[in-house]
Amino acid sequence: MESDKKTTGKKVVISIIAIIILAFVIGGINNPVNQDNFDVTERATDLSGDLDKVTNNDGEGNTKASYNVISGAISITRVKGPAFAKSNNNSYLGFCSKEAPKEAGGTKFECIDSKTEYRLSAKVENDLYICTSHDLDSGKFAKLTEMKIPPVGYSCK
């Protein structure tokens, strides 16, 4: 029972962090989150509307703005991943086509998925990639990773 409380608490913290990142990316949150009634799974599913705001960026701006847009879109996807797998019989199959962003800030994303894992990445600069991946068997939350080389396979190493 205590383990469930810790897991739920971690999910709430991750969701709040993703929402804060999104706020910086799109310039603010229109509706404040009521933390007393905050359900991670429900909010992660509702983020698709917020993601549309992020991906409608006109693509103009400096590298830092592009980086923020891309990392914000990937962070939202990290929150949506576990909810997708849970509602899809503990599988990430179809995650890329249904939930992952295709483009943000004029940059195309690369996404691959399988039954147990997914990887989403984007090139930000000539030698900088942003990546997230998750393996259901790991039991760990997906992390946002910066890389100097393009990712290969399902890992962001």
Of the listed ranges 36-50, 72-86, 142-156, the least confidently predicted one is 36-50
DSSP string, 66-111: HHHHHHHHHHHHHHHHHHHHHHTTS--TTHHHHTS-SEETTEEEEE
User: What per-residue confidence (pLDDT) applies to 40?
Assistant: 46
At 21, list the tokens. 């990142």
- The band of 22, judged by pLDDT with boundaries at 50, 70 and 90, is low
Q: What is the pTM of this model?
A: 0.60
**Position 135 pLDDT exceeds 70:** yes
Residue 136 amino acid letter: L
User: What per-residue confidence (pLDDT) applies to 121?
Assistant: 94
What are the C-alpha distances in Å from 9 to residues 13, 46, 101, 109?
A: 6, 19, 26, 30
What are the sequence ranges of the domains in the chain? 2-147
DSSP string, 25-39: HHT--SS---GGG--
**Position 59 pLDDT exceeds 60:** no
